[in-house]
Structures are given as C-alpha cells and as structure tokens.
Chain A
Amino acid sequence: MLFYSFFKTLVGKEIAVELKNDIALEGKLHSIDQYLNIKLLDTKVSDPERYPQLVAMTSVFIRGSVVRYVVIAKDDVDVDLLQDAARKTAAS
C-alpha cells in the first residue's frame, strides 16, 4: 500500500520504466493500481531499433510483475517523507 500511495502522488509526472526483459520506456504516469501496474501516456521506447513495432503505441499498460526499475526525477520525491512512512509501516 505504501508504494501504491507513493506512486499516486507521481501521477502526471514523467518517469522511466525499465522492464525485466531489458526494455526501457519513458512517459507520463497516467495511473497506477494496487498491483503497481503502470499506465503511461505519450510513451517513448528508449531503444526503438530493438522493437521497431512499439512505435505504433500511444498509451501503454505495463503489468506490475514485469517492472525492474522505475526511474523518477529527484525533485518529484520527498525522500524524508517516504522514509518516515516506511518506518511507520515497518513499526505497525
């Protein structure tokens, strides 16, 4: 629940997502759900030569289970707040 709430604060921001099959995508976070499935708008594939047919897609739904990393801009995160929330969750 913690990271679901965290990602909800990032809706509308630009993020990059690296998947477990090594594909990297960038786009604007449209929405997130409890499984951390991610929906991105205005998606750009970072390596279009590998999968040229992905150029045809506009909005993308990424299954949460295939995400390796989500790369966020430093200014979009309040790290201290996140750390606090994590501590509280661990304590309960």
Chain B
Amino acid sequence: MAAAAAAPLTPFPGVASLADQLDKKVLILLRDGRHLVGIMRSFDQFANLVLEETFERRVVVSKSGGAAYGDIPLGLYLVRGDAIILLGEVAPELEASDAHPTAVSPEDILRLEETCQDAETAALGLSDDA
C-alpha cells in the first residue's frame, strides 16, 4: 500500500508530464507577460490548468537594481493552455533568497508601480509641465 502511494504518476520515464507538479505551488508565465502563482489542482492535454489560491505576482524593479514583488489575490482560476508560456515549481527557500525580489503587501506593490510609472513618464518628458 505504501509503495503504491509513493509510485510516481508518470507511466513512462522521459515523457514530460505535469503530474509531478500536482498539488504543488507553481508560478506560471502567461503570453501577456503576467505571472500567476497558485496551487495546481488539475491539468489536461492542452495544458489547461486549474489553480487554487491564485495570486498575480507583480514585480517592480528600481533603477538602483533592487526589486520588490507583491501578490494580488485572485481566487480559483482556470487558465487556458494556449496562454501559458511556462510553468515552474516554486521552491519557498528560493523565494526568500537574496537573488529573489523582496515581498511587499499588495497595496504597496500597486503604489510602487504607480510611482515607477510617474518616474518613467517624467524621464521621457511626457509630463504636463514639459
């Protein structure tokens, strides 16, 4: 019984399958550039996915090189396979590492995005007082 529970779901070695990522926290990159984080509950042959506890992960990179990220809660999502670029399993220890952006609250990341936008607009000389 224990052996059956431990056996992997993939029937053929060397054949790619999303079965290994079931019930795991994954980060998806979408074709429109968005990042979604959630627990993958199911998939099909088109790589359509059901994600539980989905968050949109927004990242703001400052010119000084520092980066921050915030997760906007979205709930239960069905993601269409043709919109997906890649899917990665998230390792919590790598999220906390120095190379990874620092976590901030959803309100903070939205505010940071606005300030970055204003800074860029001012730099391009597109502000009203130019």
Contacts and interface: CB of A to CB of B under 8 A. Distances in A.
A81 to B, nearest CB: 19
B22 to A, nearest CB: 12
A91 interface: no
Interface string B82-97: 1011111111001101
Q: Is chain A's interface secondary structure helix, strand, loop, or mixed overall?
A: mixed
Interface of A: 8, 11, 19, 21, 23, 25, 30-33, 37-39, 43, 48-49, 51-63, 65-66
Nearest to A20: B85
B51 interface: no
Given A31-B15, A33-B16, A57 B88 contact: yes
A49 B100 CA distance: 10
Contacts, number: 99
B98 to A, nearest CB: 9
Given A61-B87, A62-B85, A66-B84, 14 more contacts: A21-B31, A25-B86, A31-B14, A38-B16, A43-B88, A52-B101, A53-B27, A53-B57, A56-B91, A56-B95, A57-B27, A57-B89, A57-B91, A60-B89
B106 interface: no
Contact of B16 (A39, A56, A57, A65): A39
Contacts of B115: none
A63 B84 contact: yes
A19 B86 contact: yes
In order of increasing CB-CB distance, the 5 nearest A-B pairs are A57-B88, A31-B16, A33-B16, A39-B16, A61-B87
A19 B88 contact: no
Contact of A57 (B10, B47, B90): B90
Contacts of B84: 63, 66
